[in-house]
Amino acid sequence: MSNVGEQVWRECKFIRFVVAEPYGTKFTYNIINTRHRDCLGRVCWYPAWRQWVATFEDMTVWSADCLADVQGFLTWLKEQP
């Protein structure tokens, strides 16, 4: 999946979060590997739980640092109005 030209919302050491598409009044974000630009997962609003969640592509491997970056992004989204 190519994300060239998409808006980078937050960039970390190994992953970046880019706006993928609107979902109602909220956006969905792709989690992109900064080196190869592969889509590793998505962050989206989950209405059943009324909170932001992350879903990950099959066969991806996550370090504690990258998971902490995802958690930090979820926390940041939760704090937004």
Percent of the chain exceeding pLDDT 90 equals 69
Question: Which backbone phi and psi does 4 adopt, to 5 degrees?
Answer: -65, 130
For residue 17, the tally of other CB atoms under 10 A from its CB is 24
Q: Is 13 exposed, middle or buried (0-12, 13-18, 19+ CB in 10 A)?
A: exposed
- Spans of the chain below 50 pLDDT: 1-5
**β-pair partners for 53:** 44
Closest CA relative to residue 54, chosen from 76, 71, 37, 33: 71
**Whether the predicted model's global pTM rises above the 0.85 cut:** no
Q: Would you state the pLDDT for residue 15?
A: 95
